Structure 1
Amino acid sequence: MPAYAGGGEADTARRSGMFGSLRVRNYRYYASGQVVSLVGLWMQRVAQDWLVLELSDGSPVALGIAAALQFTPTLFLSLWAGVLADRMDKRRLLVGLEIGLGLCALVLGLLDVTGLVQLWQVYLLCLVLGAVAAVETPVRQSFVVELVGRDQLTNAVALNSMTFNLARMVGPAVAGVMIIAVGTGWVFLINALSFVGVIVGLLRMDAAKLHRGEPVPREKGQLVEGLRYVRRRPDLVILLCLVFFISTFGLNFYVTLAVLARNTFGGDADAYGLLSTLLAVGTLAGATLAARRSARGRPRLRLLFLGSLAFGVLEIAAGLMPSLWLSGAVLIPVGIAMMTFTTTANATVQLSVAPAMRGRVMGLYMLVFLGGNPLGGPVMGWLAEHFTPRAPLVVGGVVAILSAVVGAVVLARRGGVTLRATLNRGRRD
């Protein structure tokens, strides 16, 4: 049986409502480091998109290629990262991975500020960054339950989303101003510095108070074992398919918003920053609502499907708005619906699997969540270039609606697999 530490902290957190996870010391270190680093991450994302557009004379296809290169390693590495997460000390593994992410930002920043940067170098660094992130993301996702315990996981996932989207709101706005004032290179250098906060937070944690299960011994066939585990769970298969289609074709805002701001509304980097910030306002609000719901109980599949359906309808509306400000206004409820869907999906998957399988299942989850971007990014860039910059938002919304309807119908025909049964199975396993 797993030996869990820190029971007193976990019990206190469980009783403390919306911000319960912050009562856990290790989680506070984790969250504080993430706040600093994620602001830098979103600053870099905006700067990188803008740098690619500048180096390619505004080509949406070039932006799609950069996105594809950054997410392609997920196809090959995320499943193996899940195996590593089940075998190794996640905290120590994360320290090394965060150093790697920081070095990628440092190199890109130095190339940019010295005037040596070329498009192929940005592409190469996108690929390297994607390789490190493909390993880091499943490890980080499966590490959260070790910080707070199973009963507080839903709350921690929601608070992580709040942190992520607070940074998403601040980072692009700051990046837009900085790009105009000092250029993209300094944005990359600031992001490199921000990783110090994450690394310090990880090193200051009390390892004795982590909620660790028994490590999985190294054996042959562990990756295949994880895939077979998911295959035997039709509820997980349906959920992962839903996540794949919506994330691949609906969550391509890194392509769609930059092109919409520049090529449709004739805006500058600050216009792109504005759209990204307004979307972040919505995602922060959605994450806050998710944190409030987590204090009342576990997530529900009905909420998952309603969130994905609402996201599709609102994304279409955002793509059809006639002005920059109207599109930005609709992006706020788009963000709320998006976070309702993503936080519910993440918590459902983690709570419904056996602890010994969590790393591998989260590796598969991140594969379907991010691995479709090498397909979705170029497709959306092609649609924007050959039709209209509005087309990717409209098509993404239609795919989200169809995915939600088909997923709900398939579940109903299988006898209505309930979240309660799914979660109870994960607890029994």
Structure 2
Amino acid sequence: MSLSATTLRSLQHHNYRLWAGADLVSVSGTWMQVLGVNWLILSATGSATSVGLSLVLQALPTLLLGLWGGALADRFPTRRVVLATQVAHAFLAVALALVAISGPTSMTPVYGLVLAGGVVSAIGGPALGKFGAEVVPPEDLPNALALGSVVNSAGRILGMSLAGMLLPLTGTGALFLLNAVSFSAVIASVLAMRASEMHRSVCAQADTGGVRTGLAYVLRTPRLLVLLALALVLGGLGRNYQVTMAAMSAGPLDAGAGGYGLLSTVFAVGAVVGGVIAAGRPRLTIGLLLGTALLTSVAQSVSGFMPGVMTFAALILPIAAGAVIIDTTLGARVQLGSPGHMRGRVIAVQGVVSAAAGAIGGPLLGWLCDGFGPRLTLELAGAVTVAATLTAAAVLARLSNLRLTRAVILPAQGLLRRVPAEQVSALR
């Protein structure tokens, strides 16, 4: 099989083609809204901390409700949950547009709608992730996740580019209206999918323990715990470029809204590169994750020294590529390593970790940017993520050695139990 055929193999499935197309449209709308919300808040308040607060409000519902959303995804057919939450997101985007067009004197309505969107995402996010895994067979799931990253990044490029062009002309309200329309693509694609070609996971029974069972599974899997802890640090201090890019654009780089849009587009291009690299790999290994995390963390620290927009953008691109490789590898390992009837809950735990990273990292980075400057913030955050990556590598190596030891000792013990006592004495 050629490299191109390997990279694009998930597209041979009809349902995945529908899903990828709808995802491109929806993600484009989402990132138009992201840029619009960030700029609306930053221009109204002049504070990076206020932008970070919006990230907290978006992430908080996932922290509180995400695990129940995972249990819901395992208990009920994901299709119904996906359709209901897409409709809810569309209505919230329309409401946000009306608030923006009216010229709000306070950010309270904006924060309230951001919080409501977080609630909908918390309830529907695990079902959305699980449904996306059901449109391809299990052997193509890593490739589908990688191609999904490419589609998401392409949508981010398209969304940010359109938002950058429209923002000075139409203001933020039009961006929110376009996002509302984009959700119709997902609804239409779900309704058009072939039921006979879906690869549905078995639904959990009502008496399987729900949230508690999902947490117990995660807690008794040390390797998964280490990966999630690393994801928390990398996500909190190494992924919240929504805050640091805005602070760098408005501060040391003196680039304004145009510079912020440019950096966001470059970040999206880098994410496409990372998705293509991940999709072309036959296996996504832990070694790849750790190596990429280390290189990305070093690049983040160095980015704080960059003197201008173009040099800063030159490092943003590989940082974004590395972020996608890390997230894709982590997602593949989490989903493929989980039982089908529990996959929604494990995805929910991963979502909670991601939300916690945003809730902690967004305000922390905003506070550091306001207090110590964005340059020093990037340098320090990169150093912390380097240390976290090295620590995770050491712990995972120890866990691998323990598994290898058990793999050797336990069969040997079983053999000795089957040997007559007098022969065991002779062996001693």
Per the TM superposition, whether the score is higher than 0.5 is: yes
Shift, 1:336, TM fit? 1.4
Aligned to 2:56: 68
In our comparison, the structure showing a higher alpha carbon Rg is: 2
1:14-29 correspondence runs (5 A): 16-29=5-18
Aligned to 1:216: 204
Shift, 1:115, TM fit? 2.4
CA contact (8 A) 1:251 1:396 kept: no
CA distance in 2, matches of 1:32, 1:414: 41
Aligned to 1:271: 259
1:354-393 correspondence runs (5 A): 354-393=339-378
Matched to 1:362, the amino acid is I
Count residues in correspondence: 404
CA contact (8 A) 2:19 2:132 kept: no
- Residue 37 of structure 2 is aligned to residue 52 of structure 1: no
Shift, 1:351, TM fit? 0.8
CA distance in 2, matches of 1:390, 1:102: 37
CA contact (8 A) 1:235 1:417 kept: no
Matched to 2:377, the amino acid is P
CA distance in 2, matches of 1:234, 1:263: 42
CA contact (8 A) 2:271 2:323 kept: yes
Aligned to 1:345: 330
CA distance in 1, matches of 2:40, 2:246: 11
Matched to 1:301, the amino acid is I
Aligned to 1:424: none
1:123-202 correspondence runs (5 A): 123-202=111-190
Aligned to 1:32: 21
Matched to 1:173, the amino acid is S
User: What do residues 136-166 of structure 1 show as CA deviations (whole Å, max 9, x unaligned)?
Assistant: 2222112222110210000100010000111
Q: Which is further off, 253-262 or 151-160?
A: 253-262
CA distance in 2, matches of 1:68, 1:390: 23
CA contact (8 A) 1:250 1:399 kept: no
Listed as ranges, the gaps of 5+ residues in structure 2 are 407-428
Listed as ranges, the gaps of 5+ residues in structure 1 are 1-11, 422-429
Change (3 A) 1:209 1:418: farther
Task: Compute the RMSD of aligned alpha carbons.
Answer: 1.9
- Residue 270 of structure 2 is aligned to residue 282 of structure 1: yes
Aligned to 1:114: 102
CA contact (8 A) 1:144 1:153 kept: no
- Give the alignment partner of residue 324 of structure 1, picking from 309, 312, 322: 309
Aligned to 2:383: 398
CA distance in 2, matches of 1:138, 1:401: 30
User: What do residues 35-62 of structure 1 show as CA deviations (whole Å, max 9, x unaligned)?
Assistant: 1111111111111100001121x11111
SS at match of 1:320: coil
CA contact (8 A) 2:248 2:375 kept: yes
CA distance in 2, matches of 1:418, 1:50: 50
CA distance in 2, matches of 1:181, 1:323: 27
CA contact (8 A) 1:248 1:370 kept: no
Shift, 1:370, TM fit? 2.2
CA contact (8 A) 1:111 1:117 kept: no
CA contact (8 A) 1:30 1:198 kept: yes
Aligned to 1:426: none
User: What do residues 55-77 of structure 1 show as CA deviations (whole Å, max 9, x unaligned)?
Assistant: 21x11111111111111111011
Q: Which is further off, 211-220 or 26-35?
A: 211-220
User: What do residues 72-119 of structure 1 show as CA deviations (whole Å, max 9, x unaligned)?
Assistant: 111011111110111111112101111111111111111112324631
CA distance in 1, matches of 2:124, 2:375: 33
TM-score (norm 1): 0.90
- Residue 221 of structure 2 is aligned to residue 236 of structure 1: no
* Identity rate, percent: 36
